[in-house]
């Protein structure tokens, strides 16, 4: 009588593990393994970005308003080049990909459009950052010219790196048979985190001399305005279309990310007292955005190929991708918290206990992932129904909403689990 019960007890954990593995890997285990590997890279690279942020807590306090701009500036790389990667992924799937920078090619027009958008939106983020600092009463906030120099110089430096990586990933997908929908969005997010924060901190060292900073801000703003004018008047139809369609959603994204920055800036004193919390912040936001980017890219490609329908309720193929995203969330957020805790310990940065940090990050991550799923699916479907390219709208929409929601959920989890 006891034997069946003991056998059941031994089998149940294995059955549960198989069920979880099935949800994690889904019907496309190779694709999910690619996604998990890419998300692991995101978590590790974001720890490096977080260490930069945690190690620069004094500079953040010396330049009030800088932290307010960080989520928007970091996310911009993912928004612009993640969308570029998604469009290139669709080009690979449909057989129109040709790696060339010439304006007569699909890839060339996409690359030039992305460069113009990165330069233009870096200037816009600086203006919005200064406006947000004034609106939300950030004491002794930086001058507008300082915002512009830091945002544009840091943004251009980071954009060159992230653009190169995006093109390398697209070429690698063709060469090695990777699915770009599984690897491009998370790895571009990782590259954006890794490149943007150090670039911004370097650019912050350039401000201080009033006349030089003002002159540099005027020159950079003029160049950005000229680049945008050229793109809008260009005879290259795809370049012009991408810029025109992208600007509204990037503007909305920047505004949402500004509120995320305000939320973080308002907690600077608490976060600076435990710098390990600053270490985990980029990884948390990057993981949420990368999960949304993967889901959005996969849904977008399937919509282009006619494999799923724009229904109010996700069909079977869409539900499989959604289940996979949910299953990936827990291990990815847990790993992000563990990596941040270990790294903070190595560099002797104060922080909460291991258990509290992991609990806060995973709890906040689960809530953020629920938002990821809703925004990725319905945002992509809405873009198609209104006649827009879901590759252009999906990733910026998901990333911007997730930056705001992710910042709020993480800060709420920190408040409940750690600070109380």
| Residue 7 belongs to some domain of the structure | no
| Residue 6 belongs to some domain of the structure | no
Q: Which residue has the tokens 């912040």?
A: 281
pLDDT digits (tens, 9 = 90+) for 47-61: 776 776 666 666 777
Residue of higher predicted confidence among 298 and 201: 201
User: Binning pLDDT at 50, 70 and 90, where does residue 336 land?
Assistant: confident
| Residue 18 belongs to some domain of the structure | no
- Give the pLDDT confidence score for residue 97 in this predicted structure: 58
Domain total for the chain? 1
pLDDT digits (tens, 9 = 90+) for 318-332: 888 888 878 888 888
In whole angstroms, give the CA distance from residue 98 to residue 223: 29
**Residue 398: closest CA among 379, 385, 384, 416:** 379
| Residue 21 belongs to some domain of the structure | no
Residue 98 has pLDDT above 70, yes or no: no
- Nearest-Å Rg of the Cα atoms of the chain is 21
- Give the pLDDT confidence score for residue 214 in this predicted structure: 92
Which tokens is 50 given?
């977080």
Residue 139: count other Cβ atoms within 10 Å of its Cβ: 7
| Residue 15 belongs to some domain of the structure | no
On whether the CB atoms of residues 379 and 337 are closer than 8 A, the answer is: no
**Distance from the Cα of residue 397 to its chain's centroid:** 10
Domain that holds residue 329: 28-419
Mean pLDDT on 278-286: 78
| Residue 237 belongs to some domain of the structure | yes
Residue 106 has pLDDT above 80, yes or no: no
Which tokens is 158 given?
């980071």
pLDDT digits (tens, 9 = 90+) for 122-156: 999 999 889 888 887 776 788 899 999 999 999 99
What is Dmax (Cα atoms) for the chain?
Answer: 88
Which tokens is 314 given?
């996700």
| Residue 50 belongs to some domain of the structure | yes
**Residue 42: closest CA among 304, 293, 317, 376:** 293
- Give the pLDDT confidence score for residue 3 in this predicted structure: 44
Residue 89 has pLDDT above 50, yes or no: yes
In whole angstroms, give the CA distance from residue 155 to residue 192: 10
- Give the pLDDT confidence score for residue 29 in this predicted structure: 61
| Residue 63 belongs to some domain of the structure | yes
pLDDT digits (tens, 9 = 90+) for 362-398: 888 888 888 878 887 887 777 777 777 666 666 666 6
On whether the CB atoms of residues 332 and 291 are closer than 8 A, the answer is: yes
Residue 72 has pLDDT above 90, yes or no: no
The tally of CA atoms less than 13 A away on the side-chain side of residue 67 is 28
Q: Where are the beta strands (DSSP E) in 284-332?
A: none
């Amino acid at each position: 009588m006891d034997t069946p019960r003991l056998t059941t007890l031994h089998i149940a954990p294995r059955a549960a593990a198989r069920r979880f593995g099935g949800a994690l890997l889904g019907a496309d285990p190779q694709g999910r393994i690619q996604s998990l590997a890419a998300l692991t890279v995101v978590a590790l690279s974001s720890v490096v970005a977080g260490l930069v942020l945690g190690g620069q807590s004094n500079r953040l306090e010396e330049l009030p308003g800088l932290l307010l701009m960080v989520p928007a500036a970091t996310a911009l790389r993912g928004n612009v080049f993640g969308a570029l990667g998604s469009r290139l992924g669709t080009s690979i799937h449909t057989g129109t990909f040709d790696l060339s920078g010439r304006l007569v090619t699909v890839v060339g027009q996409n690359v030039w459009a992305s460069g113009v958008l990165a330069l233009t939106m870096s200037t816009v983020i600086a203006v919005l950052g200064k406006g947000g600092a004034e609106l939300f009463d950030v004491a002794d906030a930086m001058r507008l010219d300082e915002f512009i120099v830091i945002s544009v110089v840091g943004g251009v430096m980071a954009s060159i790196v992230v653009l190169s990586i995006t093109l390398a990933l697209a070429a690698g997908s063709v060469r090695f048979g990777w699915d770009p929908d599984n690897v491009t969005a998370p790895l571009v997010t990782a590259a954006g985190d890794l490149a943007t924060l150090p670039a911004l901190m370097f650019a912050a060292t350039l401000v201080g001399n009033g006349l030089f900073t003002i002159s540099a801000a005027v020159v950079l703003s003029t160049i950005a305005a000229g680049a945008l004018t050229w793109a809008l008047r260009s005879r290259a139809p795809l370049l012009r279309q991408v810029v025109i369609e992208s600007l509204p959603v990037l503007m909305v994204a920047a505004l949402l990310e500004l509120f995320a920055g305000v939320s973080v800036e308002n907690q600077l004193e608490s976060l600076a007292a435990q710098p390990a919390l600053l270490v985990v912040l980029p990884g948390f936001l990057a993981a949420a955005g990368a999960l949304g980017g993967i889901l959005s890219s996969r849904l977008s490609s399937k919509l282009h190929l006619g494999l799923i329908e724009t229904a109010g309720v996700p069909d079977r193929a869409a539900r499989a991708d959604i289940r996979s995203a949910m299953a990936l969330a827990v291990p990815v957020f847990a790993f992000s918290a563990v990596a941040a805790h270990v790294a903070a310990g190595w560099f002797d940065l104060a922080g909460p206990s291991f258990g509290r940090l992991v609990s806060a990050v995973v709890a906040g991550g689960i809530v953020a992932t629920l938002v990821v799923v809703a925004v990725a699916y319905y945002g992509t479907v809405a873009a198609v129904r209104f006649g827009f390219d879901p590759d252009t709208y999906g990733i910026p929409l998901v990333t911007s909403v997730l930056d705001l929601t992710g910042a709020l959920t993480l800060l709420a989890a920190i408040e409940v689990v750690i600070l109380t």
